Structure 1
């Protein structure tokens, strides 16, 4: 697979992020956001198939080649929203669209709901709202998160003697992927260490959330979105079994299409990437 992109580093006021730039400089401005524990290579197949867009595919903080949060920091999902807004500010984009997969789709919805005046369109792949939690479980969940933070110092990331072993592990990871997809993600996500290779991702990304939005919070963000939305659901993805999805989408003017494939259908193979592009190209070209 041959992919043409420009590698850049974005020095934001609070952190430095890495990104891939796709498409013509005068294309429609789009910020692309990957899923949890992935990186910018998740858009390696899809981005070249999208027409007339200037895509900034980020490595989100703690992922890929981007900086980790400072010591004592955390990875609350709304902090990613702030990062994305700062990226738009750096490019001088007052209006821009968002292309998000999984966690990246969730971040996109939060930003579009919170600042609808800034977001032109949302193109979402197998993601919409975060895992939620209700008030009665909050004390227990916070306690679990605090214990996990205390135990983090004694945990070590896995070290793989060969890259092929890391690829095999990623194929079976959260949101299982094809070998080619795992190779793309691992190529950007691994770094050499004594004894082999390990993931660049910040170990704090695996900590449980100390606080979650309630279902009412999540629904409020979805209903606050004012821009056009195209949502692609994977038939063998992670959202099909999500309870309450049909009710949440009922009555909303979202374009929703279900396509064959798994959670990473846009990356697993060229056919899946093309099918997603066939959904999004007319969406971005619409007046």
Structure 2
């Protein structure tokens, strides 16, 4: 089994941390985790990818990476960080491996910069949560109101890491096994007042100031011209949106695999199957 090592990138305005599997010379792949997760999301499938040089990032505000200044986070800010990391690595062309939010970022980059992308594999993530144009003023108001209230909020402090794991299992927006949560929590905690609290930037909990319309989101997916593989969880977050799933079925240019399991199926029992699918896809790119 391939072991990992830590890596850090000193970018113009932020320090980014990550984990690396494989050696230079393999297919260059940047790994992108989901919202509130971190690079440990690939701890099970990363070692199973052959002839791949996987650099899995802690995106800004997550894991061991720095936080962004006040003003919130956006998908395009995170995508810009991915490009900065690729440039720092000297990778003119590279592939992406994204889970959830990381899959959405992969879709945005694939749809906009095909000249940089070799291909992308996505796990239960492709299109962002969308909104209607007429709802934009209220959505922006929600962001401003929540931003103003953020200063008075304090992160929870747990007297043991095990209690933080329990909080992650019970408090997530999607179901997750205790084992999967433990892998993510280990990288997501820091000491605080004799206990433990989240490293995650509280700004990540703010509502998005702007949401793309459904038409905007679909346009990014339809613009993808590089090889793309999508692994969907039958009990995942995307399966809850029939209209979205129906549209995905119409994307003949995206290789789609449906598996039993929840949103974090790549960290749970289905991890070996997910790894096999993605490894096979990456071999076709190599």
Superposed displacement of residue 161, structure 1: 1.2
Gaps of 5+ in 2: none
What residue is the counterpart of 2:195 in the other structure?
196
Matches within 5 A, 1:14-163: 14-70=13-69, 72-163=70-161
- Cα deviation 1:256-287 (Å, max 9, x = unaligned): 11111110010124xx1110011112211115
What SS is found at the alignment partner of 1:244? helix
What SS is found at the alignment partner of 2:118? strand
TM-score scaled by length of structure 1: 0.96
Superposed displacement of residue 47, structure 1: 0.5
C-alpha RMSD of the superposition: 1.3
What SS is found at the alignment partner of 2:142? helix
Superposed displacement of residue 73, structure 1: 3.5
What residue is the counterpart of 1:265 in the other structure?
265
- Cα deviation 1:115-137 (Å, max 9, x = unaligned): 11101111000000110011110
* Contact 1:95/1:118, CA 8 A, preserved across alignment: yes
Superposed displacement of residue 182, structure 1: 1.2
What SS is found at the alignment partner of 1:154? coil
Gaps of 5+ in 1: none
Cα 1:129/1:244, change in 2 over 3 Å: same
* Contact 1:109/1:129, CA 8 A, preserved across alignment: yes
Between 245-254 and 106-115, report the one with greater CA deviation.
245-254
Superposed displacement of residue 3, structure 1: 6.6
Number of aligned pairs? 283
Whole-Å separation in 1 of the counterparts to 2:50 and 2:133: 44
- Cα deviation 1:192-250 (Å, max 9, x = unaligned): 10041110000000000110011111011001111111100011111111232222440
What SS is found at the alignment partner of 1:6? strand
TM-score scaled by length of structure 2: 0.96
What SS is found at the alignment partner of 1:260? strand
Matches within 5 A, 1:229-268: 229-245=228-244, 246-268=246-268
In the TM superposition, structure 1's runs of 4+ consecutive aligned residues that sit over 3 Å from their partners are: none
* Contact 1:219/1:248, CA 8 A, preserved across alignment: no
Whole-Å separation in 2 of the counterparts to 1:159 and 1:3: 35
